[in-house]
Structure 1
Amino acid sequence: MIVVTGANGQLGRAVVESLLGRVPPASIVASVRNPEKAVALAQHGIAVRSGDFADPEGLRAAFRGADQLLIVSADKLGDEALQLHRTAIDIARDTGARRILYTSHMGARVGSPFLPADQHAGTEADLAASGVAFTALRHGFYAESCLHMISDGLASGELRTPEDGPISWTTRDDLAEADAAILASDGGWDGITSPLTASEAVTMTQLAAIASEVTGREVRHTTVTDEEWRNAKIAGGMPAMYADMLLGTFQAARRGDFAATHPALAKLLGRPPRNMRDVLSPAKPCEPA
């Protein structure tokens, strides 16, 4: 039996939907915080269980009978995220899971200026110490996060960012499909995976050029100082902790932490992964409303 946590979230739900084409619905369990929001999954014959990383006893019931268990990383930061993941790992082990899979990040590294990458590295260490076979899915940086970061600049025609580096932006749907393929393969993915990424890494300057080409409207890229960028975000209403986290993305990118590309994702998908040109082309974010 395969248990997928966070199955009401964008990634978790997409993983479950992709699994439906690979394994019998009766072998899938969707662990969710709000079962009433998972009616559509239940209608496919999937068992829906209430599971919350902050509720150990409820989680124990949600994980019961799991052979493989996918821990979708919590939408939290720092020590809070690490503790929630530790709880899920401990309960998965105690309830007899044969393998734990975890949605990690291609840039996972202790001490990374990008806080989520540091905490992913911490959870990978906890998995290695658990005594259970595990797979850390080193996801490429979500292309959807890129769109969130640059949408204002694309709309205004000037993309203002700190100094950056190339990032192999990868779509969430491609990663969900790959995660499902690994779960359904039932073997061969021990430990930390190769980076599961799109086939190219691009800088902000290159993104501005791609956006200009696909929308027919010029988008300039301007490099500003870290302090100027951070102050502008906070002045625009962004909480300081999130401004610092996003700034860490650029700082880690300068180090090359997100520049890797690897054919593993394409092999899992059986086709080329989508890239930022594909992502930007249909949406045309620079078109006036």
Structure 2
Amino acid sequence: MIVITGATGALNGATVDHLLDRLPASELVVVARDVSTAQRFADLGVAVRHGDFADPSTLPAAFDGADQLLLVSSSDPAGDATSLHRAAVDAAISAGVGRILYTSHQGTSPDTPFGPGRDHAATERMLADSGISWTSLRNGFYSHSLGWMIGPWRETGTFAIPADGPVSWTSRADEAEAAAIIIAAINADPALSSYDGPVTLTASAAPTFAEVAEIASEATGRTVTRVVMEPDEWVAAQIAAGRPEFVARFSLGMYQAADQGYFEGTDPLLATLLGREPLTVRAELSAPPIAH
């Protein structure tokens, strides 16, 4: 049995869809805080269980019988992700889960300026100490967030950032498909060891923001310019534009981590799993803008 948390979100929801192309619905279970939000999976024959990281008492039953548990990471920048992940890992141990697959992030490190990267590092330490077989899916930075990071560049022809560095912008849809491929492979061969521990899934290139501006210029036929501001000046501008200060400083950590090289690595595994090249930054910027 494969149990998936976060299936009502975009990433793991798409992973479930890909799993349904590969496995019978009877082999899947999705866990949701509000089971009514997972009705579309129930309609397809997937069992739906209640489980909430913030209510650890709900989790052992939610995870019961799992040969594999796909554990989504907390995405609340103001929350205590490490404590929530601890509750989930402890429940997995209690439930006798066979393997945990955790949605981590490239650049995971206790020293990164990017807050989630520190949380992921702490969670990976939990997994390593858990005694359970584990896989950490270190996804590249999701490319759909690039448009949000660089703002209304289509209208203004410019975007301002507080630091620059390479980022392996990677499609969330590609990551979801790759996760399903890995889960299905382990399902077919539970002794498979090639996905033990950290597994890096990134696009094939890691352009800097300066290079993103060049790509945007080529994709749209107009000049797009990247401007680097002093960090404090940038944070002040974000606050003046109506963004909460903690959100601005959270975002600042991402740019600083890029500047320090935490997101510069690329790995061919994602392309190998997909059997094609992952989505590129050029394709992302050429697509019609979407709401974030």
In the superposition, the TM-score normalised over structure 2's length comes to: 0.94
Please show how residues 231-250 of structure 1 align to structure 2 within 5 Å. 231-250=236-255
Q: Please say if residues 162 and 228 of structure 2, whose CA atoms lie closer than 8 Å, have aligned partners that are also in contact.
A: yes
Q: Please say if residues 166 and 259 of structure 1, whose CA atoms lie closer than 8 Å, have aligned partners that are also in contact.
A: yes
Q: Please identify, of 149-158 and 43-52, the stretch whose mean Cα deviation from structure 2 is larger.
A: 149-158
Closer, same or farther in 2 for the Cα pair 1:284/1:8, shift >3 Å? closer
Residue 65 of structure 2 corresponds to residue 65 of structure 1: yes
1:60: Cα distance to partner? 1.7
Please show how residues 93-104 of structure 1 align to structure 2 within 5 Å. 93-104=93-104
Q: Write the deviation string for residues 27-57 of structure 1: whole angstroms up to 9, x where unpaired.
A: 0101111111111111111111111101122
Q: Please say if residues 168 and 198 of structure 1, whose CA atoms lie closer than 8 Å, have aligned partners that are also in contact.
A: yes
1:79: Cα distance to partner? 7.0
CA distance in 2, matches of 1:64, 1:245: 35
Q: Please say if residues 77 and 247 of structure 2, whose CA atoms lie closer than 8 Å, have aligned partners that are also in contact.
A: no
Q: Which position in structure 2 is the counterpart of 1:227?
A: 232
1:260: Cα distance to partner? 0.4
Q: Which position in structure 2 is the counterpart of 1:262?
A: 267
Q: Which position in structure 1 is the counterpart of 2:197?
A: 191
Q: Which position in structure 2 is the counterpart of 1:177?
A: 177
Q: Please say if residues 127 and 134 of structure 1, whose CA atoms lie closer than 8 Å, have aligned partners that are also in contact.
A: yes
CA distance in 2, matches of 1:241, 1:75: 14
Calculate percent identity across the aligned residue pairs.
Answer: 48
Q: Write the deviation string for residues 232-266 of structure 1: whole angstroms up to 9, x where unpaired.
A: 00111111111111111111111111000110111
CA distance in 1, matches of 2:224, 2:79: 39
Q: Please say if residues 167 and 263 of structure 2, whose CA atoms lie closer than 8 Å, have aligned partners that are also in contact.
A: yes
Structure 1's consecutive aligned runs of 4 or more residues displaced over 2 angstroms after TM superposition are 76-79, 151-155
CA distance in 2, matches of 1:120, 1:176: 18
Matched residue type, 2:277: P
Q: Write the deviation string for residues 163-206 of structure 1: whole angstroms up to 9, x where unpaired.
A: 2101000010100001111111113300111x210000111111
Matched residue type, 1:191: G
Three-state SS of the structure 1 residue aligned to 2:109 is: coil
1:8: Cα distance to partner? 0.3
Matched residue type, 1:167: V
Selected match of 1:280 from 281, 285, 292: 285
Please show how residues 115-134 of structure 1 align to structure 2 within 5 Å. 115-134=115-134
Q: Which position in structure 1 is the counterpart of 2:210?
A: 205
Please show how residues 146-185 of structure 1 align to structure 2 within 5 Å. 146-185=146-185
CA distance in 2, matches of 1:96, 1:112: 33
Q: Please identify, of 208-217 and 163-172, the stretch whose mean Cα deviation from structure 2 is larger.
A: 208-217
Give the number of aligned pairs: 284
1:124: Cα distance to partner? 0.4
Three-state SS of the structure 1 residue aligned to 2:100 is: strand
Q: Which position in structure 2 is the counterpart of 1:217?
A: 222
CA distance in 1, matches of 2:289, 2:84: 38
Q: Please say if residues 147 and 289 of structure 2, whose CA atoms lie closer than 8 Å, have aligned partners that are also in contact.
A: no
CA distance in 2, matches of 1:182, 1:244: 35
| RMSD over aligned Cα atoms | 1.4
Q: Please say if residues 77 and 250 of structure 2, whose CA atoms lie closer than 8 Å, have aligned partners that are also in contact.
A: no
Q: Which position in structure 2 is the counterpart of 1:88?
A: 88
Matched residue type, 1:254: D
Residue segments in structure 1 that go unaligned for 5+ positions in a row: none
Three-state SS of the structure 2 residue aligned to 1:283 is: coil
